[in-house]
């Protein structure tokens, strides 16, 4: 593994951060100095680049005739910024007085990114570190069979090498801020901490055992040095990923103790309430947990009711509360076991077709379009994949969220089968949902599942269960 890590750090940097929120605030803010961010986009998807800080749009730049752009920050706060082009976005780390340049090809968005200019060294090191961590995840799969002491040895050897590489970097780029050093140390350590949190579950799985492994208390001694609510790290991917793994560990332990009567997603909601103080982070886990609980057909009713209580009793995010309230109300409109209400959507030729005629005598999956056009890429890929994999099923795309011209344009752009796409003008209460919802219907036209997600982890299993 040492050779693999060294190889990564000696290679040319052609990577960027995962599409996860990495925006970080900074104690030593430098709000009086300028910074520049610019570059060139090869094969652009639009004529603009948008720039964000803490998820707020702060500037944009129109591409020149040579597809170049430049953004000037009059007051730069040290930390992570997000830039967006077309439907994709990526992250950069900026400090005051930086002049960071990028060059990327949208045909290979992630791998083509190259940094240059002042600030490039920091970004290149962090990106390489993320690359190593990503590959490391795969390399460690074979180690989960080891005992906790041998697994710890693997962790220690990787940690020694990473710290050595960081020492070499600091000798070459000595002027690093307190924030940057903190971020690097987090990026080095937290992915390894995460592996230790998932070790018990993965050990059982890799050994084909139902017995929870005996682990030395020293295995988790690192926890005493972790602040789950560190405001400078909130949203930073390694910290965010570790917190999720830690809460999952607690949720899984609860399942083990109650003989797997509880639901792990609902347990994670409870664990977040008991261990997280930061309101926004706690709200995110409550929101994520209730989604999984409500949309998972295998979640027991009593656990869904527990999820609802936890969410509405503790979530302080008004937008999320309104969204989940609407989700619950809409799910009541199509009761399981009842026949689908007949509506008359239009096909691609503008002809009105009775929906019940389309689904007659055939197992059917009705997929509602996401109202956010930025989500259409994943929706279309998933729809096309399922349609090809299950040719004996009737896959239907249905929307009331798009005007006719945009609807037709998206069908062509996303290469959807136009024969199976339908649109309706008038508002339908059970279509009033803002995500790729799927409704599963049997040969008799009766609803078997009235509310699931097209990308639900057990979705294909649910499809195969349609009678």
SS (H, E, C) 254-323: HHHHCCCCCCHHHHHHHHHHHHCCCHHHHHHHHHHHHHHHHHCCCCCHHHHHHHHHHHHHHCCCHHHHHH
CA-based nearest residue to 199, from 149, 131, 133: 149
Overall CATH class of domain 17-112: mainly beta
Q: How far apart are CA 467 and CA 449, in angstroms?
A: 12
Percent over 70 (pLDDT), the chain = 92
Q: How far apart are CA 276 and CA 229, in angstroms?
A: 7
pLDDT value for 1: 54
H/E stretch holding 57: strand 56-62
Sheet with 114-118, strands from edge to edge, namely 68-73, 35-42, 99-105, 114-118
Strand partners, 61: 49
pLDDT value for 109: 67
Q: How far apart are CA 235 and CA 432, in angstroms?
A: 31
pLDDT-based confidence at 10, cuts 50/70/90?
Answer: very low
Q: Phi and psi at residue 397, in whole multiples of 5°?
A: -95, 130
Q: What is the pLDDT of residues 38-56, one digit of tens each?
A: 999 988 888 889 998 877 8
Contact 131, 16 (CB under 8 A): no
Q: What is the pLDDT of residues 347-374, one digit of tens each?
A: 999 999 998 888 888 999 999 888 876 6
Burial zone of 214 (CB within 10 Å; 0-12 exposed, 13-18 middle, 19+ buried): exposed
Q: How far apart are CA 63 and CA 316, in angstroms?
A: 40
pLDDT value for 12: 36
Q: Which two tokens stand for residue 226?
A: 């972790």
Sheet with 56-62, strands from edge to edge, namely 56-62, 48-53, 79-85, 88-94
Q: How many helices (H) and strands (E) does the chain have?
A: 13, 13
Q: How far apart are CA 178 and CA 180, in angstroms?
A: 6
pLDDT value for 54: 72
pLDDT value for 373: 67
pLDDT value for 31: 44
Contact 115, 123 (CB under 8 A): yes
Q: What is the pLDDT of residues 229-288, one digit of tens each?
A: 998 887 788 898 999 999 999 999 999 889 889 999 999 999 999 999 999 999 999 999
* Mean pLDDT (whole number) for 193-197: 97
pLDDT value for 458: 81
- Where does the chain hold its CATH 3.40.30.10 domain(s)? 355-464
Residues 325-363: b if buried by 16+ CB within 10 A, e if exposed: eebeebbeebeeeeebeebebbebeeeeeebeebbeeeb
Contact 441, 356 (CB under 8 A): no
Average pLDDT, the chain: 86
pLDDT value for 430: 79
pLDDT value for 432: 73
State the CATH architecture for 355-464. 3-Layer(aba) Sandwich (3.40)
Give the pairing type, strands 114-118 and 394-399.
unpaired
Tell me: pLDDT of 7 over 80.
Answer: no
Q: How far apart are CA 123 and CA 383, in angstroms?
A: 36
| DSSP single-letter state for residue 235 | T
Q: Phi and psi at residue 365, in whole multiples of 5°?
A: -120, 110
Tell me: pLDDT of 19 over 50.
Answer: no
- Where does the chain hold its CATH 2.60.40.10 domain(s)? 17-112
Strand partners, 73: 35
Q: Which two tokens stand for residue 148?
A: 């906790």
Higher per-residue confidence, 313 vs 374: 313
Alpha-carbon torsion, ordered 357, 361, 362, 366, to 10 deg = 40
């Amino acid at each position: 593994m040492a050779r693999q890590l060294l190889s990564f750090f000696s290679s040319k940097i052609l990577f960027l951060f995962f599409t996860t929120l990495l925006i970080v605030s900074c104690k030593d803010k430098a709000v009086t100095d300028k910074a520049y961010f610019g570059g060139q986009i090869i094969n652009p998807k639009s004529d603009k680049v948008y720039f964000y800080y803490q998820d707020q749009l702060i500037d944009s730049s129109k591409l020149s005739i040579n597809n170049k752009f430049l953004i000037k920050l009059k007051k730069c706060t040290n930390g992570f910024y997000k830039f967006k082009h077309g439907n994709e976005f990526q992250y950069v780390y900026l400090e005051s007085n930086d002049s960071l340049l990028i060059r990327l090809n949208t045909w290979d968005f992630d791998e083509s990114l190259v940094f240059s200019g002042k600030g490039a060294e920091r970004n290149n090191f962090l990106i390489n570190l993320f690359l190593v961590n990503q590959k490391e995840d795969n390399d460690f799969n074979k180690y989960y069979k080891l005992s906790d002491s041998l697994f710890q040895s693997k962790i220690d050897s990787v940690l020694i090498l990473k710290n050595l590489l960081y020492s070499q970097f600091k000798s070459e780029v000595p002027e690093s801020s307190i924030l940057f050093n903190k971020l690097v140390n987090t990026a080095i350590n937290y992915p390894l901490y995460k592996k230790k949190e998932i070790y018990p579950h993965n050990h059982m799985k890799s050994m084909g055992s139902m017995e929870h492994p005996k682990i030395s208390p020293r295995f988790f001694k690192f926890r005493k040095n972790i602040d789950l609510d560190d405001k400078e790290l909130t949203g930073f991917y390694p910290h965010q990923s570790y917190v999720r793994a830690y809460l999952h560990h607690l949720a899984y332990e609860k399942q083990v103790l109650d003989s797997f009567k509880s639901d792990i997603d609902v347990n994670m909601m409870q664990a977040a309430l008991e261990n997280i103080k930061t309101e926004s982070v706690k709200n995110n886990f409550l929101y994520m947990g209730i989604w999984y609980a409500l949309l998972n057909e295998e979640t027991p009713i009593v656990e869904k009711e527990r999820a609802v209580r936890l969410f509405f009793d503790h979530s302080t995010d008004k937008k999320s509360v309104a969204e989940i309230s609407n989700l619950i109300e809409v799910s009541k409109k199509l009761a399981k076991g009842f026949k689908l209400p007949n509506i008359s959507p239009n096909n691609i030729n503008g002809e009105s077709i009775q929906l019940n005629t389309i689904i007659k005598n055939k197992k059917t999956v009705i997929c509602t379009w996401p109202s956010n056009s930025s989500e259409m890429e994943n929706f279309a890929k998933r729809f096309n994949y399922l349609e090809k994999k299950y040719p004996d099923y009737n896959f239907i795309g249905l929307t009331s969220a798009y005007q006719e011209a945009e609807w037709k344009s998206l069908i062509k752009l996303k290469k959807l089968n136009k024969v199976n796409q339908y649109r309706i003008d008038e508002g339908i209460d059970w279509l009033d949902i803002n995500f790729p919802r799927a409704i599963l219907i049997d040969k008799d036209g009766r609803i078997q599942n009235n509310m699931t997600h097209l990308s639900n982890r057990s979705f294909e299993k649910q499809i195969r269960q349609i009678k």
